[in-house]
Each structure stands twice: as C-alpha cells, then as structure tokens.
A and B are shown apart, each in its own frame.
Chain A
C-alpha cells in the first residue's frame, strides 16, 4: 500500500531542475561560441550577450545543485502520489487536447475536453456533459469567428459545415 505521504522527494526534483537549468545554460554557451563572442565589424558579435547570460546561468545553477545535493536531512516530498495523480488527471487530457487541435480543430477538441472533465472529474451525467461541451464550442465559435473575426484552427467538421 502506498502511504498517503509518499512521493518523489524534493531533493531529487531540485537536483533534476538544477541540472536542466545547467543544460540550458550549457546549450547557450555552446551556441554563443559558435556565433562568436568577440568584437565584430558592427560591434559585439551575436553570441556576446547570450554567452555572459549563459555563464551566469550555469554558475547559479551549479550553486543551487551543490546546495541541493549537500542537503542530507529531510527536505520533504515534492508532492504525494495521490496529488500527482490528480495533477495527471488534468494534465494528460490537456496534452491530448493540445495534440488533437491540429487534426480536429480547436472547437471539436474543446467540446470533447469540457465534456470529459465534467464526466470524469465533476461526476456529471453524460448527457449534461456532452451538452455543455457542445455549448462551449458553439459559444467560442460565435465569439471568435463571428464577433471578433479571429480565425482559430478548424478541422474536418468545420470544413464539412462550410467554414
């Protein structure tokens, strides 16, 4: 059984994040050196400013990394597993939503996501959830495509309807 207070430790996440920052800084340093960090014909070369920024980033993240790694005692947990499961219950559908937009268009995807959230997280009945999803899509369509004349990503359904 998982204890309710179990979860990834803060120390591990701290170290991981600091490493990611270091990597970002390192990538910046590498790219800046490629561009040149000296004095060009028209002033400082393109890499100069990012180079110093990258250097500061690497230095600061190394400091944080050392601090996190040296902390021995209990730093507590980042979040408990049940909490992370709740976060995933929002995040995973949202990732699928974003992935579906290029194919299905934003309206259909939004309708499905609203209906899913209401059914799974809110415990509403299917009929009400689906109706609310469709209502959201129609309202968004009227506001953006018709009032503000902003074209949002559309899919096969909108094409079939003549938009």
Chain B
C-alpha cells in the first residue's frame, strides 16, 4: 500500500514538535471560535489566515485545519448547555442535547456529542486517506473543459440540493461570481466593473467578504433577541465518560449510517448543516418511537454530531483533489493554499506530497487532540459564555475589523467588511444561502479561467463541454441538478398546488 507509506511520512511531518504545538493552539482557538457567537470556522480562519504567511505552508494548514476541527467540536458545547447553536451545523444537536442538559444529563450529552463527532471525523479521514489519491490520480487527466464541468456540477448541486428557494441560491451564487470578476481582468488587463473607482481595482477579497458575511451579520442577528445567555452547568468527569463510552457501541449502526450521510453530503458541496439535519431526520424516522425524539434522547445527539463532523471533514476531499471546496470553511482554506503559493488541484498530490500527507496525518492527530481538549476543558469554554454579551460583541467587532484590515493592509477593506455584514444580515433573514456566494467568490476566477481556456481549445464552440464521455457525463449531471427545482416546480404547477401553497416560513 503506497498510501500507508506516504501517510507514515505525513505523520513524521505532523509529529514535529512545532507542528504538534500549532495543532494544540489551533484546536483550542477553534473550540473558542466555535463557542463564541459571530465567530465560526470560516471567518475565524479568514481572520487568522494573514498571520500565517510567515509560516511554512504545511505548518500553516495544520494550524488552520485544526481550528476547523476545534470549531466543529465547539459548536456542540453551546448547543447542549445553552440551547444556542454556536455553528449552523449544531442546530440539530440542540433538539435533544438541550433537553438532556435540562434533565441534568449535560455531561452525558456532551460526552456522546464529542465522541460521535470524533467517530464521524475518523470515518471521513480514513475515507480521505484512501479515496483522495485515487481521485487525484484520475483528475490528473482532466483538461480545462473537465475542470469547468466539475465546478459547474458543484455549483449546480447547490441549486438542486439546497433546502431553500432555488432562485435565491442562484442569485447569491451569481452575485459571488460577479464580485469575483470585479477588478483587473488577468487575461486582457482590462478593468471590469470598477465604475471608475480606484479602490475597486484590487477587486473584492473573499476573506473580507467572509468576515463580514459570517461575522458582523451573525452579531447583528444575535443581538435581535437581546441575547442573554442562560446556560446549564456541566462538568465532565472520567466516570461519566467511561459510563457513556460503555453504552455507545450499542449505537454503532446509527453512527455508521450518520457518518455515511455526512461523508456523502460533505463531498458534494451541500455541507455539514444539511447533513446534520438529514441524519437527525433519518434517525427519528427509523426509530421505533419517533415521538420520544426532541425530549432528550442520546440518539438525537449522536446522529447529527456524527454527520456534521463527517461532512465537515470530507469537505476537504474535493478541495484537496480537485481544488473545488465542499464548504465555506474549505473554501477559505483553499484561498489559503493560493496565498501560500500552492496550486490547488490534483497536481498537489504529485508535487507537494509532504504538504498533502502532512495535512492528512494531522487530521488524525488533530481530532484526537480535539477530543481530549474538549473533554477536559468543557467547563472553561462554557464559562466564556457567562461573559456579558456587550463585552463579547465589542471584542468580536474589533477582531473582525483587525482581520479585515490585515488581509491586504487596506483601510477600505474595513468599510467593505461592514457593508458585507449588513448585506449578510438582510440576506440571512430573507433565507438567502450564503455558502454559494462565498464559494462563487472564491472559485469565480478559476471557473472563468477554465471556461476561457476550454473555449480557446475549441475556438469558441460550446461543444467542447460535450466532446468526450467524461466531460459530457459531468455536464449532464450538472444540468440535471440545475433543472431539478424547475422540474419539481413545474410538476407542482401542473397539480395546481404552487399558487395556493403557503410559502414555508
């Protein structure tokens, strides 16, 4: 097995003392970010990215990916203890996690959540270890048309698989593409959509957008409810952990199914949030007594947590192998790769073996570190939410402003961040999805490049996207996904339901 040998080399990289330390720092920071409202995996990493320029890329990605794992763990803490999902993917965890905490079983719920998060991540990492090299090897034969088709497919699947209104998904996505196109056109050198402004020539940096869209807007959304944190106290001791661990093997089938759902949803860019809802829904439907869900069942914690963590982890698979991220956080990491001077895509596995396998090895270690950190330090992290919201909000706003500034040392970016924050607040309240916007902003330039190169090959004929079986299959899948909402809408129209059906809130 060639992979195992490479993985061992990766462990050698990840186990260097400096990298071990960064891993620990990353996990602790990540849990912190996951616990705080207004800071999440995506914008937490976006804020810290500029500080990693001086590091070797492999150390930087180890730290940043560990922040991601930490944030995935951290979301569960606030969901269970405070009934506040720290992250969107932990919303489903509140359904049964918070009732458990109210019944005084907080420690049990937390142990189950952390352990199943770990299991979900572990399954996804094993999958990445063995599947990623195969996909990367396959993708080495891709030309520009195939890459365009893959990106088309992943954007189409947002439209076809999103839970929200398809038109709004499309609008958010197209806005992302347009924002990506603003500034200098690298092929012809012409200025696009700057409308005479010199500040716009640099274009929109996606890091600034991410900080505004996910950071500022989150604060604005939370303040609406006049946030007062009322939480349950919890301390986890070894006895509880061991007791819960003894009962967990009983739920192996539930965990395996949830992990599979998570892996699948993570690879297709649907992301961790729908994965956690889907897994929770399936668990409830398959249960003998569905009505007991929502009242504090341990299965209601295991299912969404396993799936969310599996999805969050496997979102890195398409990011590493194809350069097409499966989640906003993976998109930010991809932006990091470009900034560190690495070319994302299948060539990474050939040219940057140390980087790729160091990262994969660090996923194993980072998740073990994460599990230990959260089990030991839950009371301290929970104490953070007892700090009054007025202080937390002010500090987060300061951190966001600093983060936006350091992206390219531009004061104008702070203003942009604020604008993105207000836009994000309105869009979020109107049920527009933000993930496609961010992904389109990150991938916009590369999608356009692939599109142009393809057309150059064919001298302007769109037939190039259907010139062989591979690219045709991918394109056909994408078109099918894109048309899916239109088809189901038309079917509803024929049945006469769509005009009278009340809009879902």
Residues of chain A having any CB pair with chain B under 8 Å? 10, 13-14, 17-18, 21, 24-25, 27-28, 31-32, 35, 39-40, 42-50, 53-54, 56-57, 60-61, 63-64, 67, 71, 73, 75-76, 78-79, 83, 86-87, 89-91, 94-95, 97-98, 101-102, 106, 110, 113-114, 116-118, 120-124, 132, 136, 140, 144, 148, 150-153
Verify A24–B411 contact, CB threshold 8 A.
no
Per DSSP, chain B at the interface is: helix
Q: State the CA gap A98–B395 with chains docked (Å).
A: 14
Q: State the CA gap A95–B421 with chains docked (Å).
A: 11
Q: B188 at interface (Cβ–Cβ under 8 A)? A: yes
A133 CB, nearest partner CB in chain B, Å: 9
> Which B-chain residue is minimally distant from A74 (CB atoms)?
B502
Determine the chain B residues whose CB is within 8 A of the CB of A132 once the complex forms. Answer: 391
Determine the chain B residues whose CB is within 8 A of the CB of A27 once the complex forms. Answer: 193, 195
Q: State the CA gap A63–B170 with chains docked (Å).
A: 11
CB neighbors of A among B363-398 (8 A): 388-391, 393-395, 397-398
Verify B171–A60 contact, CB threshold 8 A.
yes
Verify A46–B397 contact, CB threshold 8 A.
no
What mask results when residues 15 to 29 of chain B are scored 1 for a CB within 8 Å of chain A, else 0? Answer: 000000000000000
Determine the chain B residues whose CB is within 8 A of the CB of A98 once the complex forms. Answer: 401, 414-415, 418
Residues of chain B having any CB pair with chain A under 8 Å? 50-51, 165, 167-168, 170-171, 174-175, 177-178, 181, 185, 187-188, 190, 192-193, 195, 216, 219-220, 223-226, 388-391, 393-395, 397-398, 401-402, 405-406, 409, 411, 414-415, 418, 422, 425-427, 429-430, 432, 448, 451-452, 455-456, 460, 502-503, 505
> Which B-chain residue is minimally distant from A83 (CB atoms)?
B224
Determine the chain B residues whose CB is within 8 A of the CB of A78 once the complex forms. Answer: 429-430
> Which A-chain residue is minimally distant from B159 (CB atoms)?
A60
Q: State the CA gap A138–B374 with chains docked (Å).
A: 30
Determine the chain A residues whose CB is within 8 A of the CB of B430 once the complex forms. Answer: 10, 13-14, 17, 78
Tell me which of B51, B185, B391, B426 contacts A122 (CB under 8 A): B391
> Which A-chain residue is minimally distant from B449 (CB atoms)?
A49
Verify A110–B398 contact, CB threshold 8 A.
yes
Q: State the CA gap A61–B503 with chains docked (Å).
A: 17
Determine the chain B residues whose CB is within 8 A of the CB of A44 once the complex forms. Answer: 451-452, 455, 460
Tell me which of A45, A53, A64, A150 contacts B178 (CB under 8 A): A53
Q: State the CA gap A46–B455 with chains docked (Å).
A: 13
A19 CB, nearest partner CB in chain B, Å: 12
A142 CB, nearest partner CB in chain B, Å: 13
Verify B181–A49 contact, CB threshold 8 A.
yes
Determine the chain B residues whose CB is within 8 A of the CB of A17 once the complex forms. Answer: 426-427, 430, 432
B32 CB, nearest partner CB in chain A, Å: 15
Verify A94–B174 contact, CB threshold 8 A.
no
Verify A152–B402 contact, CB threshold 8 A.
yes
Known contacts A13-B426, A57-B178; A46 and B168 CB within 8 A of each other: no
Q: State the CA gap A130–B422 with chains docked (Å).
A: 28
- Listed by A's residue number, 8 A-B pairs whose Cβ atoms lie within 8 Å are A25-B174, A42-B188, A53-B174, A78-B429, A90-B219, A90-B397, A106-B398, A152-B405
Given contacts A21-B175, A31-B195, A120-B390, 17 further A-B contacts (CB under 8 A): A10-B430, A28-B178, A31-B193, A35-B192, A40-B188, A45-B188, A56-B170, A57-B170, A57-B171, A61-B171, A64-B171, A86-B226, A98-B415, A101-B411, A116-B394, A118-B391, A151-B409
Verify B390–A94 contact, CB threshold 8 A.
no
Verify A35–B422 contact, CB threshold 8 A.
no
